[in-house]
Chain A
């Protein structure tokens, strides 16, 4: 006879789970009571949101399912932002929540919330377990849906009495999905159609999104892109999928994308999309997105098609299947010479940011930081200006090397996510770049970093504003900086010291020298290579802005390259 809690843990082990992130509480106490000796390591964060973001970080860097645990009521509702974040960015995530006793469900008992209902629209699959017999099925099916197709988010809510109840347990079960009559997926017909489109095209381009890394088809994609040799760019989650040194690579596309990428996307007559859902931050005004292009959309999830802009040829399936099929067809044909188009799209005059932008101390600082990173590194960015600067400046050939909350844009993501990444990759240099606003949203996870002795390298780009909102206020709200002033920030160096984390401050004046002084360089090197956690606070000009920028509702070709108020 095993308790429900033991069955949960055995089923987690059967799914390959080694780490879970969580925070205990009343309804989930039986599960915590059973942890010792279960083979499942629990990481205590200091807030449930920290736990779910840490689970996400773990999942994003490994491709495995991240697992978060919380108690009923406030514990469960504190997971919600992380679940939404995982949904937007296709992160496989299973959340296990304790629930009040079965007999109390629906009575507004102490710490009761309808977590099943609260998370219904954010999850791919969820289950409120009703009997102890359902536990193995719920866990196995939950992991199936988390992993299958477009990775998904799962909530399994278990009443506390079922965790304490006992039953005979014969071992984990294996879920088999029900067959459906009409699962749409690409057949062989698409390959010659796309080749024909390429042969008719004068200005083809390729756009790479998160689906590339999720599919595991990076080598196949890179071979295909080499064969195509057409101007190529990536979404923020596609960064690293294409080697930045590839001669046809133009960097990030979208609201803060490179001028070269956005211009090529505006001018193209054939857009090949590989695993990107074309959200509004990528398209700008959808009615003027790639206005001259035929769009071929490689996508695993049919529900992502035609959301913002209709595509002409959907190719449904895993890129690991569809790219090799396309490549095989491509080998049988010759393509037109796109060198003239490539020369225009990849030409020097479009290739970089405005030179004045490159001279900005924060950008110089990030360049300095990234250039000194060890080869084996993962960079996390929180949400805001620093996120876009980091995305613009980070040059990575690692598909899972740049991690950020892209779709939801959840401030406070990076620090706890870095905990998950560092636990998954203990020997990797994990650099966590945050703003002063976002860092304070989950600042309590400094305690987790300290407790575990994780050598996370934390950077706060401190401009004493909610910088991205302030930038919009400056450009589009006549500099009415309503409630974005954070000039009364605490002293982050002293806070880190209180958590026994070494910290120091670097002023942007240190970046006005080029190259930087050997003293500054040594400081950065020591920061990156020290064996323990470190916090570096970089004092940034309060009104530094991120450019290029496509104003909301504008076409990609209408990007601002410098400060010129539009309204």
Chain B
């Protein structure tokens, strides 16, 4: 189970789009907690996902118009938002990471 935190502007449909990214993949939503956070809102999701889905979900969430920030406790989740390709990372390393 991985925990995701998504910071978003609470505009019409934004939370629904965030949840839809999970539900369209037939993922159960055992934990959803949405609340105000500073000037905006944050939703915390716990999802049973595989490594491939972590990257897909994070990228899809970040593509939603009013999502500000996506973070995760997943060990391999940070790479989705790094510059592409990571400067100075040998291609073999990048390739190995992509195939992992």
Contact = CB atoms under 8 A, between A and B. Distances in A.
> Are the chains A and B members of one assembly?
yes
A197 interface: yes
B60 interface: yes
A184 B80 CA distance: 9
A186 B12 contact: no
A187 B59 contact: no
Contact of A182 (B13, B24, B63, B69): B69
Contact of B20 (A120, A181, A311, A313): A120
Given A189-B85, A303-B63, A312 B13 contact: no
B12 A121 contact: no
A310 B98 contact: yes
A189 B65 contact: no
Interface stretch (B30-38, B41-49, B86-94): B86-94
Contact of B55 (A187, A189, A197, A306): A306
Nearest to B55: A306
B69 A294 contact: no
Interface stretch (A78-86, A124-132, A532-540): A124-132
B56 interface: yes
B5 interface: no
A331 interface: no
| Interface footprint category on B | 20 to 34
Given A120-B16, A302-B80, A306-B52, A180 B63 contact: no
A189 B88 contact: yes
B82 interface: yes
Contacts of B80: 184, 302
B84 A145 contact: no
B13 A120 contact: yes
Contact of B59 (A128, A196, A303): A303
B98 A311 contact: yes
B95 A190 contact: no
Contacts of A125: 65
A437 interface: no
Given A180-B68, A182-B69, A189-B85, A302 B12 contact: no
A312 B94 contact: yes
A301 to B, nearest CB: 7
B69 to A, nearest CB: 7
Interface residues of A, number: 38
Contacts of A187: 83, 87
A311 B99 CA distance: 8
Nearest to B11: A127
Nearest to A182: B81
Contacts of B98: 295, 306, 310-312
B91 A128 contact: no
A295 B97 CA distance: 13
A102 interface: no
Contacts of A197: 91
Given A180-B69, A189-B85, A303-B59, A312 B20 contact: no
A186 B83 contact: yes
A178 interface: yes
B91 A126 contact: no
Contacts of B9: 178
Nearest to B17: A120
A387 to B, nearest CB: 27
A159 interface: no
Contacts of A185: 83-84
B4 interface: no
Contacts of B91: 193, 196-197, 294, 312-313
Contacts of B94: 312-313
B99 A310 contact: yes
B4 to A, nearest CB: 15
Contact of A306 (B17, B56, B62): B56
A305 interface: yes
A189 B87 contact: yes
A128 B95 CA distance: 44
A189 B84 CA distance: 8
A314 interface: yes
Contacts of B86: 189
Contacts of A182: 69, 81
Nearest to A304: B59
A314 B88 CA distance: 14
Interface string A40-80: 00000000000000000000000000000000000000000
A378 B91 CA distance: 42
A312 B83 contact: no
Which residue, of A124, A178, A310, A315, has the highest number of chain B Cβ atoms within 10 A?
A: A310
Which residue, of A301, A307, A313, has the highest number of chain B Cβ atoms within 10 A?
A: A313
A379 interface: no
A125 to B, nearest CB: 5
Interface of B: 9, 12-13, 16-17, 20, 24, 52, 55-56, 59-60, 62-63, 65-66, 68-69, 80-88, 91, 94-95, 98-99
Interface of A: 116-117, 120-121, 124-128, 145, 178, 180-182, 184-187, 189-190, 193, 196-197, 294-295, 301-303, 305-307, 310-316
Nearest 8 pairs of A and B residues by beta carbon:
A189-B87, A312-B95, A310-B98, A314-B84, A303-B63, A302-B59, A303-B59, A316-B84
